[in-house]
Amino acid sequence: MITLQALTKRFGTFTAVSGIDLNVGKGEVLGFLGPNGAGKSTTMKMIAGYLTPSSGRVSICGHDVETDTIAAQTALGYLPEGAPAYGDMTPRQFLGFIAQARGFSGAEVKNRITAASAKTELDPVLDQPIDTLSKGFKRRVGLAQTILHDPPVLVMDEPTDGLDPNQKHSVRNLIRTMAAEKAIIISTHLLEEVDAVCTRAVIIDRGRIVADGTPANLIARSRHHNAVTLSLPLAQLAAAKATLEQQPYVASVEEGPRYDGAGLMTVFPRGHELIIESVSTLAQQQKWDVKELYAEAGRLDDVFRALTTHDTQRVRERTGVAA
């Protein structure tokens, strides 16, 4: 329902987004990841029709955003970065304006406001000026605005930014409940969010897609994928490490922190193989006093860091300022 074709945006000589191709269908919740300045917001602004692409095209439900803007924007619920709203209005007035701007009138305006504010738990503050609301409520006013017209496509730039863990939880629940019927793109810095709500994760860096898969897929690329961590008494640690390093299925062994006379050790498998059974059997044979033993699914931040670049480095490369 959302199609991006060779989408590119240049600002002067700087290319913010460079030839992105993407298709997001109904039922998908796509997590858009990337370091600050990677081009996430620029891409979302182009999808929403706020920025015109330098080249390439975006279509929403078959409507080209550039040539059929109004139809595309009608099918879209868009939460801009920072969830901007008119601070002098109350949420009720603000949502009323959004409803009218989206072509609703009469009782329908009221119904839409009631439904959207119930979903985003805004009811208690509906009649307070938005400027006086807490960050969490302000964000939810933005969310209510986004889902007010029950659009088939949602694009949200950092929907849970600034929310406390309880609020994050309810927003994620809200996204999950809407997921089946819609195509959703959310951008986020929070890797745990991808795990919690997304069916698909796309990592971009310097305006390019560097990874695209299910969260489980991406996690499997982590060096920690299927790595086994075990804790042993300090006396056995060195010998055990030597023995483990001899095993054909082990790529490397790293020592972790020590505490209470025991030390942690992480065993990295060759080629992401599942090695927990082999390690466990070996430990029994060798009669190690294993206190803990567990395998890891992997860490998304490993993958994130391996695939993306640091902003300082990016700016240096762009401006030619040496370290």
Min separation Cβ 122 and other proteins, Å = 17
Distance CA 54, CA 16 (A): 10
Smaller CB distance to other proteins: residue 25 or 84?
Answer: 84
User: Within a 10 A sphere around the Cβ of 174, how many other Cβ atoms?
Assistant: 18
Min separation Cβ 320 and other proteins, Å = 23
Burial class (CB in 10 A: 0-12, 13-18, 19+), 189: middle
Question: Which residues are CB-neighbours of 226 under 8 A, at least 6 positions away?
Answer: 269, 272, 273, 274, 275, 276, 295, 296, 298
Q: Is 45 in the site for other proteins (CB under 8 A)?
A: yes
- How many residues sit in the footprint of other proteins (CB under 8 A)? 34
Q: Is 78 in the site for other proteins (CB under 8 A)?
A: yes
Min separation Cβ 47 and other proteins, Å = 9
Q: Is 33 in the site for other proteins (CB under 8 A)?
A: no
Segment near other proteins (CB under 8 A), from 44-52, 176-184, 186-194, 297-305?
44-52
Smaller CB distance to other proteins: residue 129 or 233?
Answer: 129
Q: Is 80 in the site for other proteins (CB under 8 A)?
A: yes
Chain position carrying tokens 């879209």: 76
Restricted to residues 110-129, the positions that interact with other proteins (CB under 8 A) are: 129
Q: Is 323 in the site for other proteins (CB under 8 A)?
A: no
Q: Is 322 in the site for other proteins (CB under 8 A)?
A: no
Buried b (16+ CB within 10 A) or exposed e, 6-41: ebbbeeeeebbbbebebebeeebbbbbbbbebbbbb
In which element (H, E) is residue 173 found?
helix 165-179
The residues of the shown chain that bind other proteins, judged by CB under 8 A, are 9, 11, 45, 48-52, 69-71, 73-74, 76, 78, 80-82, 84-89, 93, 97-98, 100-103, 105, 129, 145
